[in-house]
Structure 1
Amino acid sequence: MAKSKKLPKATSDGPSSNPITSSSTTAPPWLHDGLPLPRLIVLDLDYTLWPFYSDIHISTPIRLVPSANPPTLSDRNGEYFALYPDAPHILRLISSLPNTRLAVASKSPVGDLCREVLKLLRLPPGEGGSEKGPKKTIDAFDAGLEIYEGTKLRHFEVIAKRTGIPFSEMLFFDDERPNLEVESLGVTMRLIRDGLTWEELERGIMQWRANQGVA
């Protein structure tokens, strides 16, 4: 899937040109409707969790931009990097659910850099400003990170072995159509175009429920 490689340039006023903006929402209906949720939600990284190619766009070293809201990184060339607007709030919500875990499955060849990005970026406070739960983005992924070249089939086989969660209990968000191959394992994959949003999250959950025969 072709992606734009143009990123916002730095200005003397800091990351004001960054199109990434903060986002919040009230509790979505699917959260309290009494119907089942996936036991594991798995996310791709490039153009799913964040709007850039980790191996192309970032020139190390990277640093956290002081006082930037939402949390934003800058690199050696003065480019800015952040998660998609809804993503931090989605991660915060999912990480608070008692029976749903989070994992990453990415074919990025720069796994160490991706981990550094996830360590530096912070999640927003929880409900009522609570600091309970993960603060670093990386800590939200309690089911682990599979970030290396290869097939998504391999990623999911490793995740299933580590967690013991059946493929049928997994929901995967990815922007690359060839990765629909994971559905041959029994995983539900939601193919997205413009990053992880509340709308795509809900559609993915509805898709997963339909695959489970849940009305």
Structure 2
Amino acid sequence: MYMLWGGGAPFSKAAAGTDLTDVRGAKVRMIGAVPEVLRELKTDPAWINTVVGVASCTDEPEWAQECMRKFDIGSGYCIKDVMQIEEIHKGNKQGHLRNIAEQTGLAFEEVLFFDNERDNCLDVAQLGCTVAWVPEGVTAVAWAETLERFPEPGVILDFRKSSRS
């Protein structure tokens, strides 16, 4: 949301695809395989007991809520339909994850965390979560490899394109 200064709400669904546009017409999009991963988490019976949450540091939590309601992930679902817990407010990700752990009863070692910003990954890895640094978004490769390697408490899995060449 911080990239939308001068724009922001209200958001409209783009004519084609899953993108949204902000009030100035700037595109807002999910990156990587986020729609496919979230749809899998919502519809695949293998994930029925999995707690799915979002941790977002933003000055504009209302914008984030609107986008989660409007982003289509397929099969009639939006992002908000998948989330059981939301920590969307100012603050660092370590604080967000501490709140999520407290509310869910999960140990940090039971948590997978994906983020596109390195500093957030460093903060959360200190807690003992398995962390995936995904600057290009949660790609199919990042999703599959992180699941395969889980658990690796405190480890930051690096999914930069340059680290995969």
TM-score (norm 1): 0.63
- Cα deviation digits, residues 63-120 of structure 1 (max 9, x gap): 1234x2x222122222222212521111010123112221111111111101100101
Task: State the distance in 1 between where 2:30 and 2:73 align.
Answer: 10
Question: Which residue of the other structure, out of 147, 158, 162, is the alignment partner of 1:205?
Answer: 147
Structure 1 stretches (4+) deviating beyond 6 angstroms? none
Partner of 2:94: 153
Equivalent pairs: percent with the same residue?
A: 27
Task: State the distance in 1 between where 2:133 and 2:2 align.
Answer: 22
Q: Choose 1 or 2 for highest CA Rg.
A: 1
Task: State the distance in 2 between where 1:114 and 1:153 align.
Answer: 19
Q: Is the 8 A contact 1:109 1:147 kept in 2?
A: no
Mark the CA change 1:124 to 1:55 in structure 2 (over 3 Å): closer, same or farther. same
Partner of 1:61: 10
Q: Is the 8 A contact 1:62 1:74 kept in 2?
A: yes
Instruction: Spell out the pairing of 1:4-153 with structure 2 (5 A cutoff).
Output: 54-57=1-4, 58-66=7-15, 68=16, 70-96=17-43, 97-125=47-75, 135-142=77-84, 144-153=85-94
Mark the CA change 1:99 to 1:110 in structure 2 (over 3 Å): closer, same or farther. same
Counterpart secondary structure, 2:150: helix
RMSD of aligned Cα (Å): 1.9
Counterpart secondary structure, 1:101: coil
Partner of 2:158: none
Counterpart secondary structure, 2:136: coil
Counterpart secondary structure, 1:209: coil
Gaps of 5+ in 2: 154-165
Gaps of 5+ in 1: 1-53, 126-130
Whichever structure has more strand as a proportion of its residues is 2
Q: Whose RCO is larger (CA < 8 A, sep 6+)?
A: 1
Task: State the distance in 2 between where 1:181 and 1:80 align.
Answer: 29
